Amino acid sequence: MRPDKTTATAVTATAVICTAVLLNAAPAAAETHTEMPTLYTLATEAGGLCAGTINAKINTFADSDQVSVGYQANFGGVGGCATTVVFTWHNVDTGTSGAVTNQVVSWSYSASFRPGPGRIAIEMATTTPHFPQQARVEVYL
């Protein structure tokens, strides 16, 4: 049985549309996640001091000049503990630099900045005593 002219035209049209969609589909953006070393820190509360951790992940995308930081402060469920987290960045290739600060309690946070393309050194610290002296990573945009 031979397909009629209408069936052949419909099959050809479907093939052309599918090919066009596949060829015009945007490629998936490469996304990179870089873990920072855990920062152990003291924090303040109404009754004195408490201790906790700050964990952070640096996120970059191949088609963006933005760096995104997702981080979590954990003070063991103690309410009222707080410290200030400071992310400093330096574009090693261009010399530009900046900082992002945030007062934190036990919770999840995010921050972002636009350092421009190149090799970016990022450090995380707190305004209260912490160990290690700083958590540091390098990413490339």
> Could you tell me if residue 2 is inside a domain?
no
Q: Are 89 and 67 in contact (CB under 8 A)?
A: yes
* Number of domains making up the chain: 1
pLDDT score for 77: 63
Residue 3 pLDDT greater than 70, yes or no = no
Burial of residue 100 (number of CB atoms within 10 Å: 0-12, 13-18, 19+): middle
> Could you tell me if residue 8 is inside a domain?
no
| CATH assignment of the domain containing 65 | 2.60.40
- pLDDT, tens digit (0-9, with 9 covering 90-100), for 55-105: 999 999 888 889 999 999 999 766 789 999 999 999 999 999 999 999 999
> Could you tell me if residue 17 is inside a domain?
no
Residues in the chain: 141
Q: Are 68 and 91 in contact (CB under 8 A)?
A: no
The whole domain housing 130 covers: 31-140
